[in-house]
Amino acid sequence: MRKKITSLFTALLFLGTLTAQTWEQKSSNPGDGRHHPVTFSLDGKGYMTTGTTNSQGGTDDFYQYDPVTDTWTTLPDFPGADRSFSIGDTWDGKAYIGFGLTPSNFSLDDLWEYDATSGNWTELATCPCAGRLHPTFVIEDGLLFVGMGNNNSGNLNDWWEYNISTDTWRALADLPGPGRHHPYMFSSNGDVYTGLGHGNGGVIFDTWYKWDITNEAWVQMNDFPSEGRVAGTQFSIGDRGFVLSGDGDNHSSMTSGEFWEYNHLNDSWRELPPHPGISRWAPGSFAIGDVVYFGAGEIRLGTDAGLENDMWSFDLDAIVSVATEDQLAEITVYPNPATSSIQLKGVSPEDNAEILITNSTGQSVLKQKYNGGEINIMNLKAGFYFLTLQKNNKSVERIKFIKH
């Protein structure tokens, strides 16, 4: 239960929390160190597959991480072609990965679905686009958006939509900016954001764009406030998007593993505590609840230079859940745990509030106005969820609940 606090106390609480939060080293992956792994989370577990190791330019090995026991399990190999520079995302309890480069330097255009419940992989419709390395790859509302990246023809700026329910692709409007490879990306508030990355002539971009899904249009946003960057990692938690590490605007390691959060409400960024050491080229990350897990990639400078197989965690809960002056008082979800419906205590219809429910991997599963009464969660899978209450377009409370 949280109560309204003053602006001064909020600022002090935020600064104290930010300072107190630290990265914690976890168990290293049992495989070889690598760059460009595909990483994701499903049902409270983390996964890592493919990437480039010291001994091979593209792999097919596959691992699962259990955060409760801090242990890794080796799974059956990914059935597609060995690859690196691939990418993936998750939706509705399944993971999707594709594209990349084979050890024989063939640019891929394939797409695969992974069902963690059955352990099965299914090959889906191939993209009618050109094969490519490290493109934008984001899923929102059952639609996968793929674009940019590069191949033997150079950097690309095209944009494609894959519909998961129909297994079909269609071309959309090109990114209005220059072509680029290894951009950053995530979804937030029902739209897709992408940008930064590496263009022609060695330029490293700081430009940032939104793909407005409803209007099918590009909107250029404010430039990223720090160095231009390329080849880092990113993730979403609910409507919050994060970018982490990578090379700076000279395409070399930065002095720290910079960590930034994007706010879609005012098109702004804020810096969070960086991961230990200097920044890394092509690492991986995934989020389970409010905890981000980060590792692998290549350290490109200094005595520690080389490929990594370590992993670190950072608990974002105290940062993303800080109270604000506009917070509603004494808000609770009940019953908790719940089976078919939940209600909110401390919110009235006059508050004109909106609720957003996200699952443990940060995907939006329900968004609606709250006019009092019961919220139907019958169609949600068993697991834990986060309910974010928004008032006057501001997130004012975030509450964890369990669905049985």
Domains of the chain: 22-315 (2.120.10.80), 332-403 (2.60.40.10)
Helix (H, G, I), strand (E, B) or coil at 321: coil
Residue 144 structure tokens: 């996968």
The C-alpha torsion from 386 through 233 and 300 to 75, rounded to 10°, is: 80
> Which residues make Cβ contacts (< 8 Å) with residue 387, sequence separation at least 6?
333, 342, 344, 355, 356, 357, 398, 399, 400, 401
CA distances from 186 to 52, 122, 144, 190, 291 (A): 23, 24, 11, 10, 17
Mean pLDDT by 10 residues, the chain (404 residues): 31 40 92 96 96 88 97 98 97 96 96 97 98 96 96 96 98 96 94 96 95 96 94 92 94 92 92 94 94 94 86 83 42 87 83 82 82 89 82 69 85
pLDDT value at position 129? 98
Counting every residue written for the chain, the total comes to 404
d(CA 311, CA 359): 23
d(CA 213, CA 272): 29
pLDDT value at position 34? 95
pLDDT value at position 371? 81
Q: Which of 177, 98, 162 has its CA nearest to residue 131?
A: 98
Kindly report each contact of residues 210-215 with a partner whose C-beta sits within 8 Å and lies 24 or more positions away, as own/partner. Answer: 211/145, 211/159, 213/140, 213/141, 213/143, 214/190
159-163 sheet: strands from edge to edge: 136-140, 143-147, 159-163, 168-171
The alpha carbon dihedral of 268, 252, 85, 311 has a sign of: negative
pLDDT value at position 8? 34
pLDDT value at position 388? 83
d(CA 180, CA 286): 24
| Inter-residue contact 193 to 186 (CB < 8 Å) | yes
